Amino acid sequence: MADKIRVLLTEEEVNARISEVAKQISKDYEGREVHLICILKGGVFFTCELAKRLEIPVSLDFMSVSSYGAGTTSSGVVKIIKDLDEPLEGKEVVIVEDIIDSGRTLAYLMEILKQRNPKSIELCTLLDKPERRVKKQVQVKYTCFTIPDEFVVGYGLDYDQKYRNLPYIGVVEQ
Ligand code: IMP
Ligand code: MG
């Protein structure tokens, strides 16, 4: 049977907020180029919508990672499934994520990517669930929405690989 999904953020609200964040990034990086790293698969819809709205030169790369861990908790050790195609040396990097939950994935990933000598590295996330944060050192420069501790789907986020294609953010009702 189909799951019941309650809308948390409409497509219009999400797109309007992405436009605002894109304006902010365009302003912050004025006169410079930004290298966006999309974290697959969840970050892909957000990355496209964000990139289209940036008014500065953009290059893109993609990375796919998975967390080793028992059950639903990520251990913080990240396995790289697909690495970047390009080196980061001297680039102004912005990592684009769908959601930051415990922060374990990003804490580990930031450490790995910093070793590749980017000129700068910042984090941009569509959603943040700060109540769930375990890794407090994860500094997020750009956040579209801070949400309560609920499991959300849509706009790239999945529940058992489903619902990534929903154009809005919703909560799966049990
Ligand atoms: P973290 O290492 O706990 O921060 O894990 C973040 C990852 O967990 C995200 O990139 C998502 O893939 C997944 N995740 C966390 N919360 C949700 C949610 O509410 N919906 C869908 N995926 C989630
Ligand atoms: Mg993800």
pLDDT tens digits, one per residue of 90-131: 999 999 999 999 999 999 999 999 999 999 999 999 999 999
> Is the distance from the beta carbon of residue 68 to the nearest atom of ligand 1 less than 6 Å?
no
> Is the distance from the beta carbon of residue 126 to the nearest atom of ligand 1 less than 6 Å?
no
pLDDT greater than 90 at residue 136: no
pLDDT at 77: 76
Nearest to 157 by CA among 174, 169, 142: 169
Whether the Cβ atoms of residue 91 and residue 61 lie closer than 8 Å to each other: no
Nearest CA to ligand 1 atom 20: 152
> What's the 98 CA to ligand 1 centre distance in angstroms?
8
Closest ligand 1 atom number to CA of residue 159:
21
pLDDT at 174: 75
Residue 68: pLDDT band with limits 50, 70, 90? low
| Ligand nearest the Cα atom of residue 128 | 1
> What's the 97 CA to ligand 1 centre distance in angstroms?
9
Q: Where are the alpha helices (DSSP H) in the chain?
A: 11-28, 44-53, 104-114
Closest ligand 1 atom number to CA of residue 100:
4
User: Could you read off the pLDDT of 77-87 as tens digits, one per residue?
Assistant: 788 999 999 99
Kindly report the pTM of this predicted structure. 0.94
Q: What is the residue-averaged pLDDT of the chain?
A: 93
pLDDT greater than 70 at residue 74: no
pLDDT at 137: 86
Largest CA distance in the chain: 52
